[in-house]
Amino acid sequence: MRNLLIKFDKFCPSTRLMTYRPGFHPPWMDKSYVTHLTLRRLNMAHSLSLIEDVAAQRPLSSTVMQRIATRAEGHPLFLEALTRMLLERGSAAGISVPDTIQEVLMARIDGLSAPARRLLQTAAVLGRTASLELLQQVAQGIRDFAQALQELKRLEFLYEQTMAAEPSYAFRHGLIQDVTYQSLLQSHRETIHTAVGQALETRYADRLATVYDRLAYHYARTPDAAKAVQYLTRLAERAVNGSAHVEAVEALQEARRHAERLSADTRDQHLVHVVIHLVHSLHFLSRFPESLTLLLQYQHCLAQLQVSSLIGVYHLQLGVTYSMLGEHTQAVQQAQRALEVATECGDEITMGRAHYLWALEAYWAGQPQQGIAHGQQAVALLQRSERRWSLGMAYIYLGVNYVLQGDFALALEAVQQARTLGEVLEDVSLQNHATWIVGWVQATCGDWQAGIAACEQALERSPAPLNTLFALCALGHAYLEKEDPEQAILHLTQAIEQTQHFHHQPLQTWMTTLLAEAYLLQGDSLRAQSLARQALDMATTSHNLWGIGLAQHALGRIARARGALLEVATHLTEALHAFTAMPAHLKVAQVQLDLAHLAQAQGDLPAARQHLHAAQTGFTALHVPLYLERTRQLASRLDMARPRAARALRCDPPD
């Protein structure tokens, strides 16, 4: 929870002051909005002053005080604990001074009465703080409970939290809890952890979800592997609902280790279940190679499964993983297998998710019509379920296929459905995907100012690396539409760097082509050509029709900038064939516009008007004012190039 609060502080004006001991590195220390202050050790004068305060009415000799201060080396807790130890012993004469703070604390613990020591150890298992009611429930076997508690308060091991909602006690310092906990034998620890878990289940029976973290913590330290897996998995689900995927992965990795300890009759089913959930969160962190390794490692467990729906979900997750690694053939095969298994057992949720995976693969393959068909099937199936998040993702994949085809109104309609579901679910990731797609569409249609604003919002509020990656891509594209090559290059380069560890060729093809266009706009045609050729090689290798069209289109524009008109015609013709085969209506119209420019440069005005008319027809149908204006500008130049008597309406169709 602490890490989650720190993560979202950049969205909420607030100030938090936190301390930590040397050797610990908080995961949020590298954030730009975090300031690190080092607390120095106390000097000799301050150390002696602290010793005097602790000793209070029982002053120590200056020799003993110097001895304590020298040994503690300015560490406040060491100074306090060492002073108290000597005071509790009654005399400093002849007592050896421990070398470490842990030894000092252990000596103080050993000096407690047996009931007080047992109570302190029980409290250490409960945690840094514990309610009085829970402490009494777990420590039922300790005689003279009240007297033991009073002893711990008097010696300042524990103190009462007066501001708590219920009577509670806390350790004076976290290190006291650590040392006390380590003083317990392993078997004794496990017994107390089990008792705490059972007490929590009884006390919070009607609201277990509020204590999943505590139940997971305690049962994970007992021999009860089944309970450990149960509560760690539920804790991870709660983390996922808050887009805290790092925390979810930590919980599920621990759950996997405990699942390995289960009996043979349930082990495989629990392992597959845990791994599926683990891979889901790893995807949000862009850890796709690790996901594939995990899934293949536990593939042998499928043979022992009695729940066929779980087999379908396994194949689905394997397909999603292959998809994110750019392995199109394997992804489609796994989607088909998941659909077959889910259909056999009537699992409409997995059927719907298999269809939206197929929709995603159709998008990357440059097959928007197929993608739209699968996306619509996914929506229809998932609308009948309670899986609102999956329905939201179905709308996302349906939307991007509409964008690819050029049906922007339908794309925005689908994405708005996803955004609404994200708001209802309070799912930041779903809302974030919807935001960058809206920005992508706005920039594509010419409203690059609104598009940049939307993409920047998505980037700023990104909850996970995968969201960040797509927001960077869309923002780079938006700056390219604005004709701001510096910003486009900056964001696209960052995006490409994030994909190096999982090699998604269709995505890399798209980004590399956009980067080539940005360098062309900057005037660096040689670098642009090199990048566009890389993109074409990647697209050809992966049989990515969309990528081939994008790369050929970019190479055509680069050749035009170099004055190589024959190359322009070859590349643009190849791009037109690819985009027409998909079909990608906006791209077809854009290539037609570039072919019109080529024909004008070659002095072939009839061909120029023919291509221009095709471009105008496409842009008009798609409602993209920016490109319609560019078409009119070229039409005006062509009209001025015609003999006065032959001039007619701009962009009139050829005879």
pTM for the full predicted model: 0.78
pLDDT at position 28 is 61
Please tell me the total number of residues recorded for the chain in this structure: 655
Asked if the bond preceding 583 is cis, omega within 30° of 0, the reply is: yes
The edge-to-edge listing of strands for the beta sheet with 168-171 is: 129-131, 168-171, 158-161
In the predicted structure, residue 73 carries a pLDDT above the cut 80:
no
In the predicted structure, residue 654 carries a pLDDT above the cut 50:
no
Mean pLDDT for the stretch of residues 157-177: 88
CA-angle at 81, arms to 80 and 86, nearest 5°: 100
Res. 478 pLDDT band, cuts 50 70 90? very high
Mean pLDDT of the chain: 89
In the predicted structure, residue 155 carries a pLDDT above the cut 70:
yes
- Per residue in 23-60, pLDDT (tens digit) is 556 766 666 677 777 777 778 887 788 777 777 767 77
pLDDT at position 542 is 85
376-383, long-range: CB within 8 Å, 24+ apart, which pairs?
Answer: 377/352, 378/352, 378/353, 379/352, 380/352, 381/348, 381/349, 381/351, 381/352, 381/355, 382/348, 382/349, 382/352, 382/353, 382/356
**Complete domains list, the chain, with CATH:** 1-39 (no CATH), 44-99 (no CATH), 112-184 (1.10.10.10), 244-256+263-453 (1.25.40.10), 477-646 (1.25.40.10)
Counting Cα atoms < 13 Å in the Cβ hemisphere of 102 gives 6
Mean pLDDT for the stretch of residues 630-643: 76
Distance CA(127)–CA(217), nearest Å, equals 10
- Per residue in 287-340, pLDDT (tens digit) is 999 999 999 999 999 988 877 889 999 999 999 999 999 899 999 999 999 999
| 3-class DSSP assignment, residue 131 | strand
- Per residue in 547-578, pLDDT (tens digit) is 999 999 999 999 999 999 999 999 999 999 99
607-611, long-range: CB within 8 Å, 24+ apart, which pairs?
Answer: 608/634, 608/638, 609/638, 609/651, 609/652, 609/654, 610/653, 610/654
In the predicted structure, residue 615 carries a pLDDT above the cut 90:
yes
* Contact (Cβ atoms closer than 8 angstroms) between residue 272 and residue 298: yes
* Contact (Cβ atoms closer than 8 angstroms) between residue 311 and residue 305: yes
452 or 386, which is more confident: 452
- Per residue in 211-226, pLDDT (tens digit) is 999 999 999 999 999 9
In the predicted structure, residue 651 carries a pLDDT above the cut 60:
no
Beta bridge partners of 168: 131, 161
Among candidate residues 426, 425, 361, 437, the one with its CA nearest the CA of residue 395: 437
Distance CA(653)–CA(650), nearest Å, equals 9
